[in-house]
Chain A
Protein backbone atom coordinates (compact mmCIF):
# COMPACT_ATOMS: atom_id res chain seq x y z
CA UNK A 1 0.00 0.00 0.00
CA UNK A 2 2.87 2.33 0.81
CA UNK A 3 4.20 1.66 -2.66
CA UNK A 4 0.86 2.71 -4.17
CA UNK A 5 0.80 5.91 -2.12
CA UNK A 6 4.39 6.66 -3.08
CA UNK A 7 3.53 6.25 -6.75
CA UNK A 8 0.49 8.50 -6.34
CA UNK A 9 2.66 11.14 -4.69
CA UNK A 10 5.04 10.94 -7.62
CA UNK A 11 2.15 11.67 -9.97
CA UNK A 12 1.83 8.21 -11.45
CA UNK A 13 -1.46 8.31 -13.30
CA UNK A 14 -2.00 4.57 -13.24
CA UNK A 15 -1.47 4.51 -9.47
CA UNK A 16 -4.49 6.77 -9.00
CA UNK A 17 -6.56 4.45 -11.13
CA UNK A 18 -5.46 1.50 -9.00
CA UNK A 19 -6.26 3.37 -5.80
CA UNK A 20 -9.81 4.14 -6.88
CA UNK A 21 -10.33 0.67 -8.25
CA UNK A 22 -9.46 -0.66 -4.79
CA UNK A 23 -11.42 1.85 -2.74
CA UNK A 24 -14.06 3.02 -5.21
CA UNK A 25 -16.71 0.67 -3.91
CA UNK A 26 -16.19 1.73 -0.30
CA UNK A 27 -16.50 5.39 -1.30
CA UNK A 28 -19.67 4.73 -3.26
CA UNK A 29 -21.31 2.67 -0.54
CA UNK A 30 -20.65 5.31 2.09
CA UNK A 31 -21.98 8.01 -0.22
CA UNK A 32 -25.12 6.11 -1.16
CA UNK A 33 -25.84 5.25 2.44
CA UNK A 34 -25.32 8.81 3.61
CA UNK A 35 -27.21 10.64 0.91
CA UNK A 36 -29.57 8.03 -0.58
CA UNK A 37 -29.23 9.92 -3.82
CA UNK A 38 -27.77 7.75 -6.57
CA UNK A 39 -28.15 10.63 -9.01
CA UNK A 40 -25.47 12.53 -7.09
CA UNK A 41 -23.10 9.62 -6.83
CA UNK A 42 -20.93 10.49 -9.81
CA UNK A 43 -20.57 14.10 -8.63
CA UNK A 44 -19.71 13.02 -5.11
CA UNK A 45 -17.21 10.51 -6.40
CA UNK A 46 -15.60 13.14 -8.58
CA UNK A 47 -15.34 15.51 -5.64
CA UNK A 48 -13.72 12.80 -3.52
CA UNK A 49 -11.26 12.04 -6.33
CA UNK A 50 -10.41 15.73 -6.63
CA UNK A 51 -9.81 16.07 -2.89
CA UNK A 52 -7.67 12.93 -2.83
CA UNK A 53 -5.55 14.21 -5.70
CA UNK A 54 -5.15 17.56 -3.97
CA UNK A 55 -4.36 16.05 -0.60
CA UNK A 56 -2.27 13.00 -1.42
CA UNK A 57 0.93 15.03 -1.11
CA UNK A 58 0.13 15.79 2.51
CA UNK A 59 -1.00 12.29 3.36
CA UNK A 60 1.19 10.73 6.06
CA UNK A 61 2.25 7.19 5.39
CA UNK A 62 1.72 6.21 9.03
CA UNK A 63 -2.02 6.90 8.77
CA UNK A 64 -4.32 4.32 7.26
CA UNK A 65 -5.38 5.03 3.72
CA UNK A 66 -8.92 3.70 4.17
CA UNK A 67 -9.44 5.95 7.21
CA UNK A 68 -8.24 8.96 5.29
CA UNK A 69 -10.45 8.14 2.31
CA UNK A 70 -13.37 7.52 4.62
CA UNK A 71 -12.96 10.93 6.24
CA UNK A 72 -12.77 12.66 2.88
CA UNK A 73 -15.87 10.81 1.66
CA UNK A 74 -17.87 11.62 4.78
CA UNK A 75 -16.84 15.27 4.58
CA UNK A 76 -17.84 15.53 0.92
CA UNK A 77 -21.20 13.96 1.71
CA UNK A 78 -21.77 16.20 4.70
CA UNK A 79 -20.98 19.24 2.54
CA UNK A 80 -23.51 18.08 0.01
CA UNK A 81 -26.13 17.43 2.67
CA UNK A 82 -25.54 20.87 4.16
CA UNK A 83 -26.08 22.45 0.75
CA UNK A 84 -29.19 20.37 0.24
CA UNK A 85 -30.57 21.13 3.68
CA UNK A 86 -32.28 24.34 2.65
CA UNK A 87 -33.72 22.72 -0.44
CA UNK A 88 -37.08 21.12 -0.08
CA UNK A 89 -36.79 17.43 -0.47
CA UNK A 90 -39.36 15.68 -2.57
CA UNK A 91 -39.95 12.22 -3.88
CA UNK A 92 -40.33 12.14 -7.65
CA UNK A 93 -43.70 10.94 -8.88
CA UNK A 94 -42.03 8.35 -11.09
CA UNK A 95 -40.26 6.88 -8.10
CA UNK A 96 -43.51 6.61 -6.20
CA UNK A 97 -45.28 4.99 -9.12
CA UNK A 98 -42.44 2.55 -9.62
CA UNK A 99 -42.30 1.64 -5.98
CA UNK A 100 -46.04 0.94 -5.89
CA UNK A 101 -45.86 -1.22 -8.97
CA UNK A 102 -43.08 -3.25 -7.40
CA UNK A 103 -45.04 -3.76 -4.19
CA UNK A 104 -42.70 -1.44 -2.34
CA UNK A 105 -43.84 0.83 0.51
CA UNK A 106 -46.63 3.29 -0.13
CA UNK A 107 -45.77 6.99 -0.50
CA UNK A 108 -46.68 7.55 3.13
CA UNK A 109 -44.46 4.75 4.33
CA UNK A 110 -41.76 5.96 2.00
CA UNK A 111 -41.96 9.46 3.46
CA UNK A 112 -41.94 8.11 7.03
CA UNK A 113 -38.87 6.02 6.37
CA UNK A 114 -37.14 8.91 4.75
CA UNK A 115 -37.97 11.20 7.64
CA UNK A 116 -36.69 8.64 10.11
CA UNK A 117 -33.48 8.25 8.17
CA UNK A 118 -32.93 12.00 7.85
CA UNK A 119 -33.54 12.62 11.52
CA UNK A 120 -31.35 9.73 12.59
CA UNK A 121 -28.56 10.96 10.33
CA UNK A 122 -28.90 14.49 11.71
CA UNK A 123 -28.81 13.15 15.24
CA UNK A 124 -25.70 11.20 14.34
CA UNK A 125 -24.06 14.33 12.96
CA UNK A 126 -24.65 16.08 16.32
CA UNK A 127 -22.71 13.44 18.23
CA UNK A 128 -19.06 13.90 19.25
CA UNK A 129 -16.44 13.07 16.63
CA UNK A 130 -15.46 9.59 17.76
CA UNK A 131 -19.13 8.54 17.98
CA UNK A 132 -19.74 9.85 14.48
CA UNK A 133 -16.78 7.99 13.13
CA UNK A 134 -17.69 4.66 14.69
CA UNK A 135 -21.38 4.92 13.82
CA UNK A 136 -20.65 5.98 10.26
CA UNK A 137 -18.24 3.13 9.76
CA UNK A 138 -20.77 0.72 11.19
CA UNK A 139 -23.85 1.94 9.37
CA UNK A 140 -22.53 3.52 6.19
CA UNK A 141 -19.28 1.72 5.41
CA UNK A 142 -20.57 -1.75 6.28
CA UNK A 143 -17.68 -2.46 8.62
CA UNK A 144 -18.08 -4.98 11.40
CA UNK A 145 -16.97 -4.33 14.95
CA UNK A 146 -13.60 -6.02 14.56
CA UNK A 147 -12.72 -4.00 11.46
CA UNK A 148 -13.78 -0.76 13.14
CA UNK A 149 -11.65 -1.63 16.17
CA UNK A 150 -8.60 -2.15 13.95
CA UNK A 151 -9.23 1.01 11.96
CA UNK A 152 -9.83 3.25 14.96
CA UNK A 153 -7.20 1.53 17.13
CA UNK A 154 -9.73 0.80 19.87
CA UNK A 155 -10.79 -2.44 21.54
CA UNK A 156 -13.86 -4.30 20.35
CA UNK A 157 -15.60 -3.74 23.68
CA UNK A 158 -14.93 -0.02 23.37
CA UNK A 159 -16.54 -0.04 19.93
CA UNK A 160 -19.58 -1.91 21.29
CA UNK A 161 -19.87 0.62 24.05
CA UNK A 162 -19.68 3.53 21.61
CA UNK A 163 -22.33 1.93 19.40
CA UNK A 164 -24.57 1.41 22.42
CA UNK A 165 -24.21 4.99 23.58
CA UNK A 166 -24.57 6.33 20.06
CA UNK A 167 -27.80 4.44 19.45
CA UNK A 168 -29.11 5.61 22.79
CA UNK A 169 -28.38 9.20 21.86
CA UNK A 170 -30.09 8.81 18.50
CA UNK A 171 -33.18 7.27 20.10
CA UNK A 172 -33.30 10.10 22.60
CA UNK A 173 -33.00 12.71 19.86
CA UNK A 174 -35.76 11.10 17.82
CA UNK A 175 -38.01 10.89 20.87
CA UNK A 176 -37.40 14.54 21.65
CA UNK A 177 -38.48 15.39 18.12
CA UNK A 178 -41.47 13.05 18.43
CA UNK A 179 -40.33 11.07 15.43
CA UNK A 180 -40.71 7.96 17.56
CA UNK A 181 -42.93 7.76 20.60
Chain B
Protein backbone atom coordinates (compact mmCIF):
# COMPACT_ATOMS: atom_id res chain seq x y z
CA UNK B 1 0.00 0.00 0.00
CA UNK B 2 1.49 3.28 -1.08
CA UNK B 3 0.27 6.16 0.99
CA UNK B 4 0.32 9.67 -0.32
CA UNK B 5 3.66 11.01 0.81
CA UNK B 6 2.23 14.42 1.57
CA UNK B 7 -0.27 13.12 4.10
CA UNK B 8 1.69 10.34 5.72
CA UNK B 9 3.06 12.37 8.62
CA UNK B 10 -0.28 14.05 9.21
CA UNK B 11 -1.96 10.65 9.51
CA UNK B 12 0.55 9.62 12.18
CA UNK B 13 -0.07 12.85 14.04
CA UNK B 14 -3.82 12.36 13.76
CA UNK B 15 -3.63 8.87 15.19
CA UNK B 16 -1.38 10.04 18.00
CA UNK B 17 -3.74 12.92 18.77
CA UNK B 18 -1.09 15.52 17.99
CA UNK B 19 -2.47 16.96 14.76
CA UNK B 20 -3.42 20.60 15.14
CA UNK B 21 -7.02 21.56 14.51
CA UNK B 22 -6.26 23.69 11.46
CA UNK B 23 -4.74 20.78 9.52
CA UNK B 24 -7.39 18.25 10.48
CA UNK B 25 -10.24 19.18 8.04
CA UNK B 26 -7.96 19.01 5.03
CA UNK B 27 -6.68 15.58 6.02
CA UNK B 28 -10.17 14.23 6.71
CA UNK B 29 -11.37 15.50 3.33
CA UNK B 30 -8.42 13.81 1.66
CA UNK B 31 -9.10 10.50 3.42
CA UNK B 32 -12.72 10.55 2.24
CA UNK B 33 -11.40 10.44 -1.30
CA UNK B 34 -8.24 8.33 -0.85
CA UNK B 35 -8.84 4.67 0.12
CA UNK B 36 -5.15 3.96 0.69
CA UNK B 37 -4.70 6.76 3.18
CA UNK B 38 -7.96 5.84 4.89
CA UNK B 39 -6.91 2.19 5.23
CA UNK B 40 -3.49 3.21 6.44
CA UNK B 41 -5.08 5.41 9.08
CA UNK B 42 -7.35 2.54 10.18
CA UNK B 43 -4.37 0.19 10.47
CA UNK B 44 -2.51 2.67 12.58
CA UNK B 45 -5.55 3.15 14.77
CA UNK B 46 -5.83 -0.62 15.24
CA UNK B 47 -2.21 -0.82 16.34
CA UNK B 48 -2.63 2.19 18.57
CA UNK B 49 -5.74 0.65 20.13
CA UNK B 50 -4.00 -2.70 20.61
CA UNK B 51 -0.98 -1.17 22.28
CA UNK B 52 -2.89 1.30 24.41
CA UNK B 53 -5.79 -0.90 25.39
CA UNK B 54 -7.04 0.32 28.74
CA UNK B 55 -6.11 -1.69 31.76
CA UNK B 56 -8.62 -2.51 34.40
CA UNK B 57 -8.12 -0.65 37.66
CA UNK B 58 -9.26 -3.71 39.57
CA UNK B 59 -6.21 -5.58 38.28
CA UNK B 60 -3.90 -3.18 40.10
CA UNK B 61 -2.52 -4.32 43.42
CA UNK B 62 -3.82 -2.62 46.52
CA UNK B 63 -1.53 -0.62 48.75
CA UNK B 64 -1.53 -3.32 51.37
CA UNK B 65 -0.59 -5.94 48.77
CA UNK B 66 2.27 -3.74 47.60
CA UNK B 67 3.37 -3.26 51.16
CA UNK B 68 3.29 -6.96 51.86
CA UNK B 69 5.28 -7.78 48.70
CA UNK B 70 7.91 -5.22 49.61
CA UNK B 71 8.02 -6.47 53.17
CA UNK B 72 8.49 -10.06 51.96
CA UNK B 73 11.24 -9.07 49.58
CA UNK B 74 13.28 -7.00 51.98
CA UNK B 75 16.09 -9.08 53.39
CA UNK B 76 16.16 -9.72 57.10
CA UNK B 77 19.45 -7.89 57.31
CA UNK B 78 17.63 -4.58 56.98
CA UNK B 79 14.61 -5.58 59.00
CA UNK B 80 13.50 -2.92 61.42
CA UNK B 81 15.05 -3.81 64.74
CA UNK B 82 12.65 -5.14 67.32
CA UNK B 83 12.82 -2.71 70.19
CA UNK B 84 14.87 -4.18 72.92
CA UNK B 85 14.47 -3.38 76.55
CA UNK B 86 17.17 -0.81 76.99
CA UNK B 87 18.96 -0.73 80.26
CA UNK B 88 18.82 2.78 81.61
CA UNK B 89 19.92 2.28 85.15
CA UNK B 90 18.00 4.16 87.74
CA UNK B 91 19.15 2.35 90.83
CA UNK B 92 22.45 0.63 91.21
CA UNK B 93 22.60 -3.06 91.82
CA UNK B 94 21.78 -4.86 95.06
CA UNK B 95 25.34 -4.76 96.44
CA UNK B 96 25.41 -0.99 96.27
CA UNK B 97 21.93 -0.88 97.74
CA UNK B 98 23.05 -2.86 100.75
CA UNK B 99 26.07 -0.56 100.99
CA UNK B 100 23.83 2.47 101.12
CA UNK B 101 21.67 0.85 103.75
CA UNK B 102 24.67 -0.01 105.89
CA UNK B 103 26.06 3.55 105.61
CA UNK B 104 22.75 4.95 106.67
CA UNK B 105 22.65 2.68 109.68
CA UNK B 106 26.11 3.86 110.66
CA UNK B 107 24.98 7.46 110.39
CA UNK B 108 21.84 6.89 112.36
CA UNK B 109 23.73 5.10 115.13
CA UNK B 110 25.48 8.38 115.90
CA UNK B 111 28.97 8.09 114.42
CA UNK B 112 28.53 10.49 111.63
CA UNK B 113 25.41 12.29 112.71
CA UNK B 114 27.14 15.65 112.96
CA UNK B 115 28.45 15.11 109.45
CA UNK B 116 24.95 15.64 108.14
CA UNK B 117 25.18 19.29 109.00
CA UNK B 118 28.35 19.73 106.99
CA UNK B 119 28.44 20.52 103.31
CA UNK B 120 28.70 17.36 101.29
CA UNK B 121 28.86 15.81 97.88
CA UNK B 122 26.31 13.30 96.80
CA UNK B 123 26.47 10.72 94.11
CA UNK B 124 23.80 11.31 91.54
CA UNK B 125 21.79 8.51 89.97
CA UNK B 126 23.70 7.49 86.86
CA UNK B 127 22.24 8.55 83.56
CA UNK B 128 21.69 6.15 80.71
CA UNK B 129 24.52 7.37 78.53
CA UNK B 130 27.07 6.73 81.30
CA UNK B 131 26.06 3.17 81.87
CA UNK B 132 26.83 0.09 79.84
CA UNK B 133 23.78 -1.52 78.24
CA UNK B 134 24.20 -4.72 80.17
CA UNK B 135 24.42 -2.95 83.50
CA UNK B 136 21.24 -4.67 84.54
CA UNK B 137 22.57 -8.09 83.88
CA UNK B 138 25.86 -7.40 85.67
CA UNK B 139 25.36 -4.91 88.46
CA UNK B 140 28.95 -5.11 89.60
CA UNK B 141 30.06 -3.58 86.32
CA UNK B 142 28.10 -0.54 87.21
CA UNK B 143 29.81 -0.38 90.59
CA UNK B 144 33.05 0.31 88.71
CA UNK B 145 31.54 3.18 86.77
CA UNK B 146 32.73 6.45 88.23
CA UNK B 147 29.76 8.25 89.73
CA UNK B 148 29.20 11.86 88.90
CA UNK B 149 29.25 14.23 91.84
CA UNK B 150 27.12 17.29 92.15
CA UNK B 151 26.98 19.76 94.96
CA UNK B 152 23.79 19.97 96.90
CA UNK B 153 23.14 23.27 98.65
CA UNK B 154 22.39 22.85 102.32
CA UNK B 155 20.06 24.94 104.39
CA UNK B 156 23.05 27.08 105.43
CA UNK B 157 24.13 27.50 101.81
CA UNK B 158 27.58 26.24 102.62
CA UNK B 159 29.81 24.88 99.88
CA UNK B 160 29.73 21.09 99.39
CA UNK B 161 32.69 18.96 100.40
CA UNK B 162 32.14 15.26 100.29
CA UNK B 163 29.94 12.50 101.62
CA UNK B 164 26.92 10.39 100.79
CA UNK B 165 23.35 11.67 100.74
CA UNK B 166 21.15 10.23 103.41
CA UNK B 167 18.26 8.19 102.17
CA UNK B 168 14.77 8.27 103.49
CA UNK B 169 13.13 5.00 104.52
CA UNK B 170 10.90 5.33 101.44
CA UNK B 171 13.97 5.60 99.22
CA UNK B 172 15.47 2.52 100.80
CA UNK B 173 12.24 0.65 100.37
CA UNK B 174 12.03 1.81 96.75
CA UNK B 175 15.59 0.76 96.14
CA UNK B 176 14.89 -2.64 97.61
CA UNK B 177 11.82 -2.99 95.48
CA UNK B 178 13.77 -2.03 92.43
CA UNK B 179 16.40 -4.63 93.17
CA UNK B 180 13.62 -7.18 93.60
CA UNK B 181 12.06 -6.08 90.33
CA UNK B 182 15.37 -6.54 88.56
CA UNK B 183 15.78 -10.02 89.92
CA UNK B 184 12.25 -10.93 88.90
CA UNK B 185 12.80 -9.49 85.43
CA UNK B 186 15.84 -11.67 85.01
CA UNK B 187 13.68 -14.66 85.86
CA UNK B 188 11.03 -13.36 83.45
CA UNK B 189 8.52 -13.10 86.26
CA UNK B 190 6.82 -10.07 84.74
CA UNK B 191 3.81 -10.00 87.03
CA UNK B 192 6.00 -9.91 90.14
CA UNK B 193 8.35 -7.37 88.60
CA UNK B 194 5.42 -5.15 87.64
CA UNK B 195 4.12 -5.21 91.20
CA UNK B 196 7.54 -4.27 92.57
CA UNK B 197 7.98 -1.52 90.01
CA UNK B 198 4.58 -0.09 90.87
CA UNK B 199 5.78 0.29 94.43
CA UNK B 200 8.96 1.99 93.22
CA UNK B 201 7.02 4.44 91.11
CA UNK B 202 4.55 5.11 93.90
CA UNK B 203 7.47 6.58 95.86
CA UNK B 204 9.19 8.33 93.00
CA UNK B 205 6.13 9.67 91.25
CA UNK B 206 6.97 8.35 87.84
CA UNK B 207 9.87 10.69 87.32
CA UNK B 208 12.40 7.97 86.56
CA UNK B 209 11.95 6.79 83.04
CA UNK B 210 13.98 3.64 83.60
CA UNK B 211 11.49 2.31 86.10
CA UNK B 212 8.65 3.47 83.88
CA UNK B 213 10.12 1.75 80.83
CA UNK B 214 10.63 -1.41 82.85
CA UNK B 215 7.05 -1.34 84.06
CA UNK B 216 5.74 -0.77 80.54
CA UNK B 217 7.92 -3.61 79.32
CA UNK B 218 6.40 -5.90 81.95
CA UNK B 219 2.91 -4.94 80.82
CA UNK B 220 3.86 -5.53 77.19
CA UNK B 221 5.17 -8.97 78.00
CA UNK B 222 2.08 -9.73 80.05
CA UNK B 223 -0.08 -8.95 77.00
CA UNK B 224 -1.49 -5.75 78.49
CA UNK B 225 -0.63 -3.16 75.87
CA UNK B 226 -3.45 -0.91 77.01
CA UNK B 227 -1.53 -0.42 80.25
CA UNK B 228 1.91 -0.27 78.64
CA UNK B 229 1.11 2.29 75.99
CA UNK B 230 0.25 5.27 78.25
CA UNK B 231 3.51 4.72 80.10
CA UNK B 232 5.51 4.63 76.88
CA UNK B 233 3.71 7.76 75.75
CA UNK B 234 4.50 9.50 79.00
CA UNK B 235 8.19 8.66 78.59
CA UNK B 236 8.16 9.64 74.91
CA UNK B 237 6.60 13.00 75.72
CA UNK B 238 8.27 13.74 79.00
CA UNK B 239 11.76 12.36 78.91
CA UNK B 240 14.80 14.40 78.00
CA UNK B 241 16.87 11.33 77.40
CA UNK B 242 16.87 10.68 73.65
CA UNK B 243 17.57 6.99 74.17
CA UNK B 244 14.58 6.62 76.45
CA UNK B 245 12.41 8.54 73.97
CA UNK B 246 13.56 6.35 71.12
CA UNK B 247 12.93 3.19 73.09
CA UNK B 248 9.47 4.39 74.01
CA UNK B 249 8.62 5.27 70.40
CA UNK B 250 9.92 1.94 69.16
CA UNK B 251 7.64 0.18 71.57
CA UNK B 252 4.69 2.38 70.66
CA UNK B 253 5.24 1.54 67.00
CA UNK B 254 5.58 -2.11 67.74
CA UNK B 255 2.48 -2.31 69.94
CA UNK B 256 0.41 -0.33 67.45
CA UNK B 257 1.43 -2.61 64.65
CA UNK B 258 0.58 -5.76 66.55
CA UNK B 259 -2.73 -4.33 67.64
CA UNK B 260 -3.65 -3.08 64.21
CA UNK B 261 -2.78 -6.37 62.61
CA UNK B 262 -5.08 -8.10 65.06
CA UNK B 263 -7.73 -5.52 64.33
CA UNK B 264 -7.30 -6.00 60.60
CA UNK B 265 -7.71 -9.75 60.95
CA UNK B 266 -10.88 -9.32 63.02
CA UNK B 267 -12.29 -6.88 60.48
CA UNK B 268 -11.58 -9.28 57.68
CA UNK B 269 -13.64 -11.92 59.42
CA UNK B 270 -16.48 -9.49 59.85
CA UNK B 271 -16.35 -8.39 56.24
CA UNK B 272 -16.35 -12.00 55.10
CA UNK B 273 -19.53 -12.54 57.07
CA UNK B 274 -21.10 -9.52 55.40
CA UNK B 275 -20.07 -10.66 51.97
CA UNK B 276 -21.46 -14.11 52.51
CA UNK B 277 -24.78 -12.76 53.66
CA UNK B 278 -25.82 -9.79 51.51
CA UNK B 279 -28.82 -9.09 53.72
CA UNK B 280 -26.69 -9.19 56.83
CA UNK B 281 -25.85 -6.10 58.75
CA UNK B 282 -22.66 -5.15 60.31
CA UNK B 283 -22.88 -2.20 62.61
CA UNK B 284 -24.45 0.62 60.74
CA UNK B 285 -25.08 0.17 57.07
CA UNK B 286 -22.66 1.47 54.50
CA UNK B 287 -19.56 1.78 56.52
CA UNK B 288 -16.53 3.87 55.88
CA UNK B 289 -13.61 4.46 58.09
CA UNK B 290 -12.10 7.61 59.30
CA UNK B 291 -8.91 6.91 61.09
CA UNK B 292 -7.99 9.34 63.78
CA UNK B 293 -5.11 8.22 65.84
CA UNK B 294 -3.05 10.29 68.21
CA UNK B 295 0.21 9.00 66.89
CA UNK B 296 3.10 10.40 64.98
CA UNK B 297 2.41 11.70 61.54
CA UNK B 298 4.59 9.17 59.77
CA UNK B 299 2.56 6.34 61.28
CA UNK B 300 -0.63 7.48 59.60
CA UNK B 301 0.41 5.84 56.35
CA UNK B 302 0.89 2.56 58.17
CA UNK B 303 -2.55 2.73 59.71
CA UNK B 304 -4.08 3.80 56.46
CA UNK B 305 -2.44 0.94 54.67
CA UNK B 306 -3.71 -1.62 57.14
CA UNK B 307 -7.28 -0.40 56.87
CA UNK B 308 -7.23 0.12 53.11
CA UNK B 309 -8.49 -3.33 52.05
CA UNK B 310 -11.57 -3.01 54.21
CA UNK B 311 -12.43 0.37 52.80
CA UNK B 312 -12.44 -1.14 49.37
CA UNK B 313 -14.42 -4.20 50.20
CA UNK B 314 -17.38 -2.53 51.82
CA UNK B 315 -20.40 -3.59 49.79
CA UNK B 316 -22.13 -0.54 48.43
CA UNK B 317 -25.39 -2.43 48.18
CA UNK B 318 -25.49 -2.46 51.96
CA UNK B 319 -25.70 1.29 52.14
CA UNK B 320 -29.02 2.64 53.24
CA UNK B 321 -30.43 5.10 50.68
CA UNK B 322 -29.49 8.67 51.36
CA UNK B 323 -27.24 7.76 54.20
CA UNK B 324 -23.97 9.56 54.38
CA UNK B 325 -20.88 7.46 54.96
CA UNK B 326 -20.68 6.35 58.52
CA UNK B 327 -17.55 7.02 60.42
CA UNK B 328 -15.76 4.64 62.63
CA UNK B 329 -13.65 6.72 64.88
CA UNK B 330 -10.55 4.90 65.89
CA UNK B 331 -9.72 7.28 68.64
CA UNK B 332 -7.01 5.15 70.12
CA UNK B 333 -5.13 2.10 69.02
CA UNK B 334 -7.40 0.12 71.28
CA UNK B 335 -10.18 0.67 68.83
CA UNK B 336 -13.01 2.54 70.36
CA UNK B 337 -15.89 2.42 67.96
CA UNK B 338 -18.57 5.10 67.74
- Roughly how many angstroms separate A124 CA and B43 CA in the complex, as a whole number? 16
Q: Name which residue of chain B comes closest to A38, CB basis.
A: B59
- Roughly how many angstroms separate A140 CA and B55 CA in the complex, as a whole number? 10
What's the least CB distance linking A177 to chain B, in Å?
13
- Roughly how many angstroms separate A170 CA and B63 CA in the complex, as a whole number? 36
Tell me which residues across on chain B come within 8 A of A24, comparing CB atoms. 61, 63, 66
Q: Name which residue of chain B comes closest to A13, CB basis.
A: B80
Tell me which residues across on chain A come within 8 A of B70, comparing CB atoms. 16-17, 20, 49
Tell me the interface secondary structure of chain A in the complex. Answer: helix
Interface size of A by CB at 8 A reads 43
> In the complex, are the beta carbons of B61 and A33 less than 8 A apart?
no
What's the least CB distance linking A89 to chain B, in Å?
15
Interface size of B by CB at 8 A reads 39
Q: Contacts A38-B56, A164-B12 given: A50-B61 contact, CB under 8 Å?
A: no
- Roughly how many angstroms separate A162 CA and B184 CA in the complex, as a whole number? 75
Q: Contacts A25-B60, A28-B60, A32-B59 given: A113-B50 contact, CB under 8 Å?
A: yes
B65 within 8 A of A: yes
Tell me the interface secondary structure of chain B in the complex. Answer: helix
- Roughly how many angstroms separate A38 CA and B58 CA in the complex, as a whole number? 10
B77 within 8 A of A: yes
Q: Mark out the residues of chain A between 145 and 175 whose CB falls within 8 Å of any chain B CB in the assembled complex.
A: 145, 160, 163-164, 167-168, 170-171, 174-175
A46 within 8 A of B: yes
What's the least CB distance linking B241 to chain A, in Å?
24
> In the complex, are the beta carbons of B66 and A45 less than 8 A apart?
yes
- Roughly how many angstroms separate A168 CA and B12 CA in the complex, as a whole number? 9
Segment with Cβ contacts to B, from A61-69, A75-83, A90-98, A115-123: A115-123
> In the complex, are the beta carbons of B16 and A163 less than 8 A apart?
yes
Q: Mark B43-76, 1 if CB is under 8 A from A, else 0.
A: 1101100111101100111010111011111110
User: What are 7 pairs between A and B in contact, CB < 8 Å?
Assistant: A21-B66, A28-B59, A33-B51, A45-B61, A53-B73, A164-B13, A171-B47
